[in-house]
Copies of this chain bind each other. A is one copy, B any other.
Amino acid sequence: MDNPFLVEVARGHLVESRHRGSVSVVEADGVTVLSLGDVDRPVFPRSAVKALQALPLIESGIAEQFGLTDEEIALACASHSGEPRHTAAAAAMLAKAGRDLSCLECGTHWPMGEAANRALAASGETPTALHNNCSGKHAGFICLACGSDTDPAGYVKAAHLVQQRVRAALEDITGASHDEDRSGLDGCSIPTYAIPLPALAFGFARFGTGIGISPDTAKAAGRIRKAVAQHPFMVAGTDRFDTRVMEILGERAFVKVGAEGVYCAALPELGYGIALKADDGTTRAAEAMMGGLLLRYLKLSDEERAAIERLAQPVLRNWNGIEVGGMTATGELMGAPSS
């Protein structure tokens, strides 16, 4: 099955590049709202499910026991830009577990945020594992281990208590079995399990509404959504798509990007969960697709609509600031009547 064109990038009067993808929008009772492309193909959710991976930390009461703040809970769901507020919060989480950055097993990279990257270089320092965009999630994993009286060493391994609980939480909320033969290693060394988009969307519909999951899981999901909505900077960073969307829409949209063009969202007021993937793995396509779906489904004020359009349908400018083109989701994604 050929996935449809869902995003077009124009230059002058021509389409310069095109992105195909697949989309699933599902209600919490499992009813399909939208299905575009081959949604049966298993997709690695990568970082798009960090909020679901954080459920055991909250549901176990360990976040409460360690006194994690809402900012820190938001960071546990983050692919952050490595800005000072992010690294400081990750360090604080580790300290609450009686640990430090030497316990992090995510690996080290220069900050994902361009300004943070250059600021770190200008300071003469080099990055630590705290700058890894996943350090908040990993600090949460270490809290989960320590709060469970388990040695955190090796917490990234599939057989460790932490990953077993994370995998169980993912299977529980998505209803999809997470099989070893469909697993891969993520950028930060934890396992990632490929599942079909409708299962991912279903999981986010339940995450956003609490419908069909245990009261404790629903309560944990609510705490996470509230924390992220109140601190959208923590989940991504300056000028990042996730952060901007939630700054504009607050609790109306929980959105989270993953690597290789995956994007998930929950729209609680509609009861929808969304999961999508750009075939080619590009973030720009995934963002334009997610932005298009927000415009398609949410009732927005003129101001909100204009703000989301600026993110979802960006004007492309060259190095002199001159408008050279633009990017937008196609009519097929936006639900335009076919001509």
Binding site for B on A (CB under 8 A): 2, 9, 11-14, 16-20, 42, 44, 105-110, 114, 117-119, 121-122, 124, 132, 181-189, 192, 194, 260-261, 278-282, 285, 318-322, 324-325
Contact = CB atoms under 8 A, between A and B. Distances in A.
B319 A189 contact: yes
19 contacts: A12-B184, A12-B185, A13-B181, A14-B184, A16-B184, A17-B260, A17-B279, A107-B321, A109-B319, A110-B114, A117-B121, A118-B118, A119-B121, A184-B325, A187-B319, A189-B318, A189-B322, A278-B280, A279-B280
Contacts of A17: 260-261, 278-281
Nearest to A3: B18
A12 B9 CA distance: 31
Nearest to A259: B16
Contacts of A182: 12-14
B14 A194 contact: yes
Q: How many copies does the complex hold?
A: 2
Contacts of A108: 319
B2 A16 contact: no
Given A107-B318, A132-B319, 17 more contacts: A2-B2, A11-B260, A12-B194, A14-B184, A20-B20, A20-B279, A105-B320, A106-B319, A109-B319, A110-B118, A117-B118, A118-B121, A187-B319, A188-B318, A188-B319, A189-B320, A280-B280
